[in-house]
Structure 1
């Protein structure tokens, strides 16, 4: 992977004549990736506890994913960077966002986890508002802020309650599930505890901010929303499930049902979309719903498969948004009715698109397939009544992925679109660097 990233950067230097300072930002991402990967492979099952870092089998793979996606974000944003006279502000926002996400994954205190969880909103909002495509980006930013704050404030109150009850906020030390009087009170407390992470994931019903933010965000914003920010919610759910393992109450079964039904509905909604980015955004809701159902099972197998689904989805969804941006740069439109007939004009790009679409629908061999099979086993072990939504989600995943591919690649070229030009080599490298880890990680799945 190190060799591939080096080749990609040399390609950038040839095609775009990048300044040396831009390479420094890229190498910072690579160094963080190599540092986290060395910790990951050195001791998988033994947590490494530092003064302010908490690295174990749950956080370290997501830190590796953050560094990898952030480096690909910089490579994919060359059109924005070339238009800027001073791109330092854009690059600094990406670095700040990546740093806040990594620090959130590496925290062992609940209050610090909350602080960095909320701090990641600020660079994301700046990316959407300053480099978004349309005036509706103001509304998209407002939606994202309101939804996140609504979920985060009850979580903050619960943190204060935990400190009053336990005397500490350390996620390593055991926590008593509090002397709450009734099951109803415990269910309400547990629901408010996980609400912030459910909105960030997002669960269906609290997902309206996600398609709006995706559609209006630049390519870097869409990649980091799909590849990293959604994983903050999944990571938070896994952490509180481990911390309060005795709180496996009726609420978990209710949330699992909500997630699966919502994932099935969002999969049907994908077929009604005519905007590429909106379709990919709704597909993220479906995939993350299955991940939530596995995490709420409370079993080690379910949470491990949820982690693998987060890694697989972070790479596949980020790659699809990158491809959608490449099509937008060629056709000046995200509409599926205008972007047609690319297979006869850019066959190499069409092959890359098919590879990413096959990953998104969990075609073998990919990490998506292994994680989806594991999650299906976990969900059906909870109740066989879940077989209908799970089957429909798996079927619709293949249908809308193929629909996205065939709508843009087949057919006659639209007269509204501008003449196509050849793709730059760096575009193929970017797609390849999204596709390759999903094929390699299935061979290293025993490390999970």
Structure 2
């Protein structure tokens, strides 16, 4: 089976194990890593990759692993999509950098135009480009504060927004993201989110009760008139792929509109066809004031953006936004290639099909294995939450054991969740159906072997 993207890497689309995982060459490289790289830079699975594409990654020992991680939702179009490689290579040969703030270039403008068109809403928009998701979130807060002349920022339980000082403060989970790194930026306030599986009075009450609780906290503890921005992931990523109960997000948006608060959708992990729509907030017809993007935007090259209402984005004085590398020309070229690939291959439809396959199989596994407490997600952003049988007590130990068993059998999976008890699945949207099925077979055998 060849690569599903014409002109992509000539990688057989198959799982192939020729050594134990990790193999001897990977182990040798990992020893070098431990001696050269800061210990704080962790590694999920120390297999060292030489080639990747379609639905597989190939390591230095010749093993080919099925990829259910996509570099944490980055390689939606695959690791070496033809148009991404073609456009980035051409730009690389022309020039690598001038700094858009010094002497600009068309690629930056073209990406901004594409994002203004693709993001929800038909209002006039503007875009600014940056390097990482955390940088995009931080700039969205800057923009909202400048526009509103307010300081407070509201975020949610289980949210993740980055690793800079401000975005660590906005992130809910302490370990490993915040431990020992404080003090954090002030004027960040956390409110409840409608977590259906864990809402104490039942999922049917989560939307109304969580929204009422969040709004009550904002009004009583902060003062709505002091809030510059409400920032939320439409599906919370690192927090465990938590999709807020239907109706919760519209209530929060309505409250923001009534009180002059900038509503920011953090679509860094959910954007660019990942959930079966260009952006996850489209599912409930939400039109954010600002939307932050990164990860899937550029086929693996570092690029991020804030896109939003023209009057909000343009409120910042000249020179107030930017950065030396923001909107790098090679990354911009890759983004244009990535977006064209998504359109040509209809990756929204592909993500929906992946979701149908995965949810059907995972719900069947839930019937067989009582450690699977919840199955959730949309499109190719799917998760299972593991608990002690007969309870909702989180079971991070079993989660880690299942992940390790999958890794040993050549399936790359990731864990997540505030309690460390979620297996999350983010296959490339170009993964062949046969590999998707085989990966799910491996996952089921891992549970059966517990």
**Structure in which a larger fraction of residues adopt helix:** 1
Higher relative CO (Cα under 8 Å, sequence separation at least 6) belongs to 2
Q: Which TM-score applies when normalising by structure 1? A: 0.30
Q: Which TM-score applies when normalising by structure 2? A: 0.30
**Structure in which a larger fraction of residues adopt strand:** 2
